[in-house]
Structure 1
Amino acid sequence: MISFFRKIRQKLLQENRITRYLIYALGEIILVTIGILIALQINTWNTNRLERIQEQTVLKQLKEEFESNLEQIDLKIALRDNIISSATEVLQYIDSKTEVSKDTLFQKMSPIVMAPTFDPIQNDILQSEKIQLIRNEQLRRVLANWPTYVTELKEQEEEWVKLYNNFTSPYLIEIGLSRDLNLYFYDNPKNLN
């Protein structure tokens, strides 16, 4: 192919047809440019295709991670609801001055010894450049804020644990209920689930 074009060029130069040679050279330049543009377009298409495949992989990993985190947080919410429900019942006993047995009272108070904490699975996708593969801008923004939400939740949990360790637990020890509450806590299967 190259020799064919070389022969045409040489023939035009030998015949002193400069105008035709320039037109031919211009045509050859246009042909090469079109070839380069087609190659670039194919390369861009292939790069985009590979990025979409990577995006799907990243989204699949994130989905699995967040489903696992959601399962964990649902469990923690249920535990906290149990603590709140039990504490509310104890407060109702106090407010209404209802007499209850020691066993009932300890059974209702036992969930307060729990300190359920959320420990999410976090992989390096959110901190890496892979997050840029996600085309959905809103999703990318929410994912970028996820570590902040987790940090805020952990800070709230730490406050709860400090409150329990600094005030509730010492008070329960002081009035002699700590050991019994712990025994009731571990005897109740609902607390251990």
Structure 2
Amino acid sequence: MEKINEDDEGFDKIKIFSSDDDKLKILGELLSTKSSRDIIKLLIGKKMYINEIAKKLELKVSLVIHHLQKMEAIGLLEITNKKIARKGEMHRFFKIPSGMLIFPNESEEIKKNGFLKKIFREGIKFAAVGFVGISSWLISANNKIEENIVDREWSQNSGSNEYLFLIPIIIIGCSLFLIWFSKKYK
């Protein structure tokens, strides 16, 4: 059984299942039984040991162990050893990370680099383009407002004010086209 460091919390805790993965069948079996679903609901974001789970859900300890073993087989559980102060003994605590994702199939890039890294890489490009577009719009809007304060005639003859929002849209559109074009012809 894999032991997880309690301080090691983060995005790498999201369990990702591919439709090509054999573990998806076991997950389906787990989700098809009420007792498994109840255990999963109970353990999402909480650490509990076997006797606590059995008592809380009014299940037999052997049934809880059976379902936990299936969850462990597919990597759905985090298991930690923790000492209980009043009893002074070590207990295995079980927890299910709050994130789970099922996607159609696993590409080589996702296997090599990881799914979340791919999402972050793509998202950072879009965020940068959006930041530049919004910044340029805010700067141009601020300049127009300052000109308006200095020169009152601008507001009377203002027809260009409606086109102010086009600057960031053009920048974002061109950037997204370039990202798409570079991916398509890579």
Q: TM-score, normalised by structure 1?
A: 0.26
Higher helix residue share: 1
Q: TM-score, normalised by structure 2?
A: 0.27
Higher strand residue share: 2
Higher-Rg member (1/2):
1
